[in-house]
Amino acid sequence: MSEFYYGGQAVIEGVMMRGQRRVAVAVRNPEGEIVVHEEPLPERIYRSAWSRMPFLRGLVLLWDALVLGTKALMWSADVAMGEEETQGFSGPVAWGTLALSLALGIALFFLLPTGVAHLSESWLGLSKYTSAMLEGVFRLILFIAYLVIIARSEEIKRVFMYHGAEHKTINAYEAGEIMTPENVAKYSTRHTRCGTSFLLFVVLISIILFIPLQFDIWWLRLISRLFLIPVVAGISYEVLRLSTRYQQNPLMKLVISPGLAMQRLTTREPTLDMLEVAIQALAPVVAADGLTLPGVEDERVEMGSPHPELAPSA
């Protein structure tokens, strides 16, 4: 069985952590209590044979970001606002929100760069291969500009602080640290398996894969990009795993350095109370795998029914 890596993401006033069997979200409510929701992950997605196969297992990461992460964000927003009964992620409005976000993301990071590259061939007389490079560079600029712009929001700055708390907690756990906020605070806010690094790999690898797909008809170019998203994600995830396993290798250090540098945009130094939340999010998913977090005291508050469904039923 391949080595499992714990991870998660920042949410509104909290952190989501995913293990092999369960997902947990810890959020600090307006009263200062840490509210935790946890539930099992669907086996058909997370414990199937294909989810452990190289290149296919990267699709699980996409599911985490698009579905599991969105559900956790919506639940955390309810708790952070002091809602006594959270509605979770269900109904046409919630799924409509996910569909709209996905459509906007595809339009901004795939349709727009592809359109600009296609027009550049006729307007500027660029070759197809030159326009392919322009498409990739433009997509990279859009990605960085997007991060810079949203980082100016005070609300997003707090999310990025919780992102730093998530990284510090995972780094401390992987180092075998006694998991207290004071101990965890000593660790880095950057991590080789960060979603920011993953997205950067997606952008860079897409440049290489899209070069031979410079069709004269623009919509064929777009379709080719959309169909290759799972392929690009699968390759990017494998690179991400290799970067973690061989991060001390001099060549690999060069490969991962741009992603680590970009994490300066998406992480901030967290407070001790944020680290406490991140630790409480990690504890139940580690416990579900038969492990423990040394030094952790259970200070969480379980939400009463109805629980939101953070993951779809198996």
So where are the chain's domains? 7-302
81 versus 128: the higher-pLDDT residue is: 81
Nearest one of 210, 189, 206 to 198, comparing CA atoms: 206
Q: What is the CA radius of gyration of the chain?
A: 20
The answer to whether the beta carbons of residues 25 and 75 sit under 8 Å apart is: yes
- C-alpha dihedral sign at 150, 151, 157, 159: positive
For residue 156, the model assigns a pLDDT of 94
The answer to whether the beta carbons of residues 50 and 56 sit under 8 Å apart is: yes
Query: What is the band of 304 on the pLDDT scale with cuts at 50, 70, 90?
Result: very low
CA 33 to chain centre: 25
For residue 264, the model assigns a pLDDT of 93
Checking if the pLDDT of 263 tops 50, the result is: yes
What are the tens digits of pLDDT across the range 200-254?
Answer: 998 899 888 888 887 878 788 888 888 898 899 899 999 998 988 889 899 999 9
**Amino acid at residue number 9:** Q
Instruction: Using a pLDDT cut of 90, give the percent of the chain over it.
Output: 41
Residue 3 burial (CB < 10 Å; 0-12/13-18/19+)? exposed
Checking if the pLDDT of 313 tops 90, the result is: no
Rounded to 5°, the CA angle 72-238-170 comes to: 45
Structure tokens at 237: 């995830």
Q: Please give the Cα distance from 118 to 122 (Å, whole number).
A: 7
Q: Please give the Cα distance from 162 to 183 (Å, whole number).
A: 16
What are the tens digits of pLDDT across the range 138-160?
Answer: 999 999 999 999 999 999 999 99
- Look at residue 28 and give its three-state secondary structure: strand
Residue 126 phi/psi, 5-degree rounding, is -75, 150
For residue 62, the model assigns a pLDDT of 76
